[in-house]
Structure 1
C-alpha cells in the first residue's frame, strides 16, 4: 500500500510540476508593465441575503469575465486604470450594473443584491469562467426552470440526451441510456445529490447502481451536467458523464400539494419554511434558512398484478452564514419504499395469448429498500481569495429484491427466482481548496481536491421460491475504499483563450470475505484483498470567439471500477479499473438573443472490462468498445412566456476486435430526441407539450434481435396564483403500446416443451395516464 501510495503521489507531483511550469511560462508577465488595480465584491440574493455562487460577473466592453465563488465573492486583478461598467447576471435573476472608476494600484470593493426575475434567454451567457467544463450550464439552467418535473425519474431526464427505463414496479433504480451507452443502473454515469454519491460500488444487483428515488423533485434547485471524462472532480463511473443535483437552500414559500391519478395513484407533499422572514436565527445573526420536506406516494400502476408501490421521503436542511467568511450546511434525509413487480416478459408469451401485455409470469417479484443520509458542509473563505469547502457524509442503505428473469429455464420445477440483498454503511469526506490568482497579467484559478469514500456492505445472492429462500449462491462482506486527489488549473492564456489542465489520482482497496457456490454446486470460501490505482489526466481548451460564441475542445481519461467480488475472483488484474479515453469538440453559442445552442462531436474508447454479473454471480469480459456521436441542443424563447426546445443525439458504437456483423453493443441507443413547447409565466396559465423518441437498436451482438423504438407525447397544464396552483399531467397522450425496458435472453415457461431460444423480453411502458394536482402556498 505504501509503495503504491508513493508511486501515485510521485506521478501526481511530476504532472503537477509540469503543469505549473507550463502555466507559469504561458502566463509570464511582460517587463515594465503599467501598474493596475484590483476590483472585488460580493453578490447576494436581495430577498434572503444569502450569497449567490456561480453568478457571471464582467466588465462591459471587455472580453472574458469571472464568476462568484461559493461565498458569493468575485475578483478582477490586473484592471487598467479607468472607468468601467461592472455587470452581474444569473438565470432567474434581474441583471444589475454599477459604474466603477479605478486608479492604478487601487483595490475597489462593490456589493450587489440582485432580485429574482422571470426567465429571459437574452440574459443567458455562454461562457463559464469558473467552471469551463460545464458547457451545458446554460442549457441545464433553462431546462430546470422550464421542463415539468413530476417525479424523481423526471429529474434524470433533465440531462440532455439521457433516457431511462424502469422494469421492476417502480422501486428499483432505472436503466440509464446516454451517449451510446446502456449504462445499466449507473455503471458509466456518476450521479450525486448535494455532494452525496448516489452510485453504489459492489452493489448486490449491479455495479454503479444509482437509486435516485430518495430525492423529492420539488426540492431540487440546480442541475449541473458534465458529459465525457473531462472533469477531474469526478472519478469512478464518470465515463459517459456525470450529473450533480443540488437541493434548495431556501423555500420561497411553504407548500402543501396533493396529487391523484389513474391506477390508484396518490401523492402528498409538504414543504415547510422553518425560519421565514421573522428574523429568528439558529446559529448566527447572518442570513440563514431552514426547511423540512416530506412526500408519500402510492400507486398500483397499470399492470394486471397490482404493484402496491409505496414510497416515503423526508428531508431537513439548514443553510446559514456563521460569519462573513464561513457558511454551514446541514442536511438529513430518509427514504423507504416497497413494491410488487410484474417484471419483464417474453414477447412469445404475449403473442401466444398466455398473458396480456400487462401480465406477469411471476407475481412474487418485488422488494423493499431504504436509505438514510446525513451531511455537513463547512465553507470557509481564506485570505488571498481562497475558499476551502469540506464535507462529511454518511449513508445507511438497505436493499432486498426478488427477481425472475428466466422463469423455469434452470429449474423446471421451482423456477429461477433469485433474491439479492445489500446492507451497507457509506462514510465519506471531500475537501476542495479553490484560489484565484495571477500569473503576470493573466488570471489563474486553482482547485485542489482530496477525498475518500468507504463502503462496508453485507451482500447476498440466493435462490428463492415465491419469496421463500431455498439456498445461497454467494454471501459475504464487502469492504471497499477509494482515496483520491486531483489538481485542476484554469489559466486565461489571452483575453479570449482559456486552458484547463488537470490530473486526478485514485487508489482503490477491494476486500471480500465470504462464500460462493462453485461449478459443482458446492459452497467454497471466497476471500481476497487487492489494491489498484489509476491516474487520469485531462486537457481542455476554450476560445471565446465573440461574447455570444464559445468554442471548446476537450479530452481526458476516466474509468469505472469493477465489483469487489469480480476483482477478487478475476485473473486479469489490468482490468480492475478499466480506462476510458474521451475527446470532443463543439460550441455553445447564441445566434439570436433569445436562442441558446450547444453542439458537440465526441468519441469515447473503453478498455476490455471484467464485469461482475450480480444476477448470476459470474465474471464476464465485455471486451473493448468504441463509440462516437454528435449532440445538438437548442433552446429558443419565442415570446416573453413561450419557449421551444429540442435535443438531438446520434450515437454509433461497436465492439472492437470482433467480426463485422457480430460486433454490435447490445441495447446501445443509436438516435434519441426530446423536445417541446412550454408556456411559462409566474402567474396565470402555464402549459407544456413534450415528445420523447428512442430509435430501434440492437438487442444482441449480431443484431438478430432488436429492441423496439418509440415516440411518445406528454402534456402538462397549470394555473398559478400567489397562494395556490392547480395542475394536470398527461403521459402518452396517444396511448401508444410501447416497450420501456427490453432485453434479449433465453427463458422457459412452466411446462414448455418447445426448444428454448433467445428472444426479446420487455416491460410495457405506461399507457395513457393522467393525474391532477393542487398546491397551497403560505
Structure 2
C-alpha cells in the first residue's frame, strides 16, 4: 500500500475530506480522522468551523503536520468560503490570502485580479481551475488569460487549493503569480433551496439536491439571478446556471462525470474619466456610452477518475467546453473616431478540450520514504476571435477576424524524499510545447504557424518541524503564453494587439523562503519572503481593451498570513502583503514603476456560529494605492471596504441571513487607470486622465435558505 507518510497521500486525503458531502449554504465542520477516511463533526456550523482553515493548520491527519510544499500554499474548505459575504461569485477567491478580486465593468464580465504586486488583469498570471477545467482562455478576444468565474456556484464549492509562485510541477501557463483550484462537492447531506433579494434589483434563487443512484450519487443544481446595480444605466444582468453530476467513490478512489451550463446577458458601466464627473457631464455612477455590455455562454462536460492501490495513486481528468462571448466597450469615447465614437465589439467563439493523467509511485531511498510523480497535460482551443468597430452595438468595420487553432502538451515529473523527520526535498521539472495555426478572415490579415517550448525546473526544501515551526525554501521557473495573433503580428491594426512581435512563451523565475508556525493551539501563522522575475510584463491598454507585452519586471515582497480558531465557534483571520514592483531594465526618460501594481494588500476577518442559533462574520479588505504610470507621478487612491453578515439557523434546517456590503458606504474605487481619452468637444489629441470604476454604495441582501 502507499506509504502513510507520503506527501501526496496526505494531501489528497485532506482534499478528499474537504470534499465530503457537506450541506451547502450551512456547511458543517470537517475533521480529518484517518489517512483516507474523514468524519463529519456537526459541532461547528453555518458560519465557520474550527477546522475550516488551511490543510495542516488547525487540524492534522493522523496527528502529523501536513507536508505543505511552501509557506504560502494551502487548502480552504467550502465552509470557510461560504462564510464570507461577497458581492459577486468571483470574490470567493478572496479566501486566498493576499488576493484581491474586483470588477471594472458589467457583472457578466470576468473579474480583475491582483496578487503579489501584480495587476493580473482578467487572469494573465494567475491560473484558475474549476473542477479540473482551466478557466483562463488563451488568445482571448478581450485579453490574454481571460478567466470568467461568473459561472461559479459558491454553495457547491467543496475546497479551494491555492499556491503562490511558479514552484509546482502541475502549474504551467498563467501560474507565475499563483494558481487556484476549486473543486465542487459530489453530494450534499441535505437538499438546499434558497432565495435572496437585495438592493439595486438583486434577486437570486438556487436549488441543490442529491440522491443515491445505482452505486453512486446524482447531484443537480440550478441557479437564476438578476441584478441592476446602482448605475444610471442599469446592468440588467440576467443569468442562468446549472450543474449535473454523477459520482461514485471518493476523491482518492472513484470517478465523476459532470455537465455544466451557464448563460448571461448584461449592460455595462465601464470606467469613466474623473473630469467628466468633475464637470458635471455625468454622475459618479453614470456612463458615457450607454450601449456598452455583453453576453456569454459556457457549456462543459468533464470527468475525473482516481485509483489508489499498491502501485500508487493514479489520477485522470478530461474536459470539453463550448464557449462564446460578445463584449461591447468604449474606453476612449471619441479619441479615434470623433464622428462615430470608439466603441468596439470583441467576439470570442471557441471549443476547447484537454486532459491530464498523473501517477504517483511510492517507494523508498535507502530506507527513507520517497515518491515519484509523473504526469502529462494537453489542451487544444479551436476558436474564432474578432475585433470590430461599432456604434451603439451596430457593426461599422472589421479590425481583426481570425480563425485560430492553438494546442499544447506538457510533461512533468517530481521526486519527493523525506530524508529525516525534519528534512524533506522535492526536485522536479515540467516541459511545455505550444503550436498554433492562425488564419485571418480579412484580406491582407496576418496568418502564420508559430510554435515554442519551455522547460521549467522546480525545487523545494522543507526543514522541521522544530517547536511546531517549519522552514520552506522554494525555487521555480514558470511562464505565461501570449496571444498568438501578437506572436505573428507584422503590423499594428488600429493598435489592437501591440507590436513589435511578441514572444509566444514568456518565462518567469521565482524564489521564496518562508516559515509556518503552529506553536499556539488553534493558531497558524506563516510568513514568506518572495521574489519573482518576469521576462515581459503584460499591461492593460485602455485604447484597445487588451493586454499588451511590455518590459521585463522584478517583484520582491513579504506576505504574512494568520488563522486563529479561538474556539470551535469563533475564528479570526488577518493577512498582509507588501510588494515592491519595478521594471527590471533601465530605459532613458522612462520610469520604472509597474502601472497598477499594488504595494499593500491587507485583510482581516472574524466569524462565529453554532449549528443552531446565531452566526455571522465581518470582513475588512484594504487595497492600497498604486502607481498609474511608470514615473509614479499619478497614483490611484486606496480602497478600504467592510462587509458584514448576521444570521440565525433554526433547528428545522431553515436559516435567515442578512449581508451588508460596503457597510461604511465608502466612496472608493474598484479600479483606476490612467490613459488618454476624448470627450465630445475636446481637442483631437484627447486628455490624459484617471478613469475609475466606483465601488457600489451600501447594499443589503436578505437570504432565506432551507435544508431538507
- What TM-score do you get using the length of structure 2 for normalisation? 0.90
- Is 2:634 the partner of 1:705? yes
Match of residue 121 from structure 2? 184
Once the two structures are superposed, residues 383-437 of structure 1 have per-residue CA deviations (whole angstroms, 9 ceiling, x without a partner) of 43x1221112100000000000000011111100000000000010110111221
Distance in 2, matches of 1:600 and 1:421, equals 41
Match of residue 217 from structure 2? 289
Alignment of 1:157-236 (within 5 A): 157-236=94-173
Unaligned runs of 5+ in 2: 18-27, 52-56, 491-498
- Is 2:600 the partner of 1:671? yes
Once the two structures are superposed, residues 5-46 of structure 1 have per-residue CA deviations (whole angstroms, 9 ceiling, x without a partner) of xxxxxxxxxxxxxxxxxxxxxxxxxxxxxxxxx89789xxxx
Shift of 1:289: 2.2
- Is 2:503 the partner of 1:575? yes
Q: 1:155 aligns to what SS in structure 2?
A: helix
> Is the 2:69–2:472 Cα contact (8 Å) retained in structure 1?
no
Match of residue 324 from structure 2? 398
Shift of 1:643: 1.5
Match of residue 586 from structure 2? 658
- Is 2:366 the partner of 1:440? yes
- Is 2:190 the partner of 1:270? no
Shift of 1:441: 1.4
Match of residue 10 from structure 1? none
Match of residue 625 from structure 1? 553
Distance in 1, matches of 2:236 and 2:267, equals 6
**Which of residues 646, 660, 684 is equivalent to 2:613?**
684
Once the two structures are superposed, residues 72-93 of structure 1 have per-residue CA deviations (whole angstroms, 9 ceiling, x without a partner) of 9xxxxxxxxxxxxxxxxxx943
1:146–1:245 distance in 2 versus 1, CA, 3 Å: same
**Which of residues 690, 696, 704 is equivalent to 1:760?**
690
Distance in 2, matches of 1:136 and 1:325, equals 21
**Which of residues 573, 586, 608 is equivalent to 1:645?**
573
1:200–1:619 distance in 2 versus 1, CA, 3 Å: closer
Distance in 1, matches of 2:370 and 2:705, equals 47
- Is 2:368 the partner of 1:430? no
Distance in 2, matches of 1:704 and 1:70, equals 47
- Aligned-residue Cα RMSD (Å) equals 2.8
How many residue pairs end up in the alignment? 675
Distance in 2, matches of 1:111 and 1:577, equals 39
1:407–1:584 distance in 2 versus 1, CA, 3 Å: same
> Is the 2:143–2:547 Cα contact (8 Å) retained in structure 1?
no
Shift of 1:188: 0.3
Shift of 1:515: 4.9
Match of residue 320 from structure 1? 248
Shift of 1:550: 1.6
Distance in 1, matches of 2:696 and 2:340, equals 31
Match of residue 705 from structure 2? 775
Distance in 2, matches of 1:68 and 1:371, equals 31
Once the two structures are superposed, residues 36-57 of structure 1 have per-residue CA deviations (whole angstroms, 9 ceiling, x without a partner) of xx89789xxxxxxxxxx9785x
Distance in 2, matches of 1:641 and 1:111, equals 26
Distance in 1, matches of 2:567 and 2:104, equals 40
Distance in 2, matches of 1:586 and 1:325, equals 30
Distance in 2, matches of 1:255 and 1:67, equals 27
Once the two structures are superposed, residues 492-529 of structure 1 have per-residue CA deviations (whole angstroms, 9 ceiling, x without a partner) of 1112100011100000002210056xxxxxx5131100
Match of residue 448 from structure 2? 528
Match of residue 560 from structure 1? 480
1:54–1:268 distance in 2 versus 1, CA, 3 Å: farther
Shift of 1:661: 7.3
- Is 2:287 the partner of 1:367? no
Distance in 2, matches of 1:650 and 1:167, equals 23
Match of residue 470 from structure 2? 550
Once the two structures are superposed, residues 706-744 of structure 1 have per-residue CA deviations (whole angstroms, 9 ceiling, x without a partner) of 111111111101111341110000011111111112111
Select between 416-425 and 658-667 the one with higher mean Cα deviation: 658-667
Distance in 1, matches of 2:563 and 2:184, equals 24
> Is the 1:746–1:759 Cα contact (8 Å) retained in structure 2?
yes
> Is the 1:67–1:130 Cα contact (8 Å) retained in structure 2?
no
- What TM-score do you get using the length of structure 1 for normalisation? 0.82
Shift of 1:621: 4.1
Distance in 2, matches of 1:132 and 1:147, equals 27
Match of residue 273 from structure 2? 346
1:112–1:504 distance in 2 versus 1, CA, 3 Å: closer
Distance in 2, matches of 1:142 and 1:333, equals 22
- Is 2:668 the partner of 1:742? no
- Is 2:189 the partner of 1:252? yes
Match of residue 124 from structure 1? 59
Unaligned runs of 5+ in 1: 1-37, 43-52, 57-65, 73-90, 98-109, 276-280, 517-522
Distance in 2, matches of 1:673 and 1:207, equals 27
1:55–1:388 distance in 2 versus 1, CA, 3 Å: closer
Match of residue 388 from structure 1? 314
Distance in 2, matches of 1:95 and 1:185, equals 35
Shift of 1:754: 8.6
Match of residue 382 from structure 2? 456
> Is the 1:205–1:614 Cα contact (8 Å) retained in structure 2?
no
Distance in 2, matches of 1:140 and 1:771, equals 24
Match of residue 412 from structure 2? 486
Q: 1:493 aligns to what SS in structure 2?
A: strand
Once the two structures are superposed, residues 101-120 of structure 1 have per-residue CA deviations (whole angstroms, 9 ceiling, x without a partner) of xxxxxxxxx98563334333
Match of residue 23 from structure 2? none
Shift of 1:125: 3.7
Which one scores higher on RCO, CA 8 angstroms, separation ≥ 6? 2
Q: 1:290 aligns to what SS in structure 2?
A: strand
1:437–1:721 distance in 2 versus 1, CA, 3 Å: farther
1:507–1:754 distance in 2 versus 1, CA, 3 Å: closer
Match of residue 76 from structure 1? none
Alignment of 1:411-422 (within 5 A): 411-422=337-348
Distance in 1, matches of 2:261 and 2:232, equals 31
> Is the 2:486–2:501 Cα contact (8 Å) retained in structure 1?
no
Shift of 1:604: 0.4
> Is the 1:188–1:560 Cα contact (8 Å) retained in structure 2?
yes
Select between 571-580 and 596-605 the one with higher mean Cα deviation: 571-580
1:93–1:691 distance in 2 versus 1, CA, 3 Å: closer
Distance in 2, matches of 1:271 and 1:441, equals 49
- Is 2:262 the partner of 1:335? yes
1:259–1:691 distance in 2 versus 1, CA, 3 Å: same
- Higher gyration radius (CA): 1
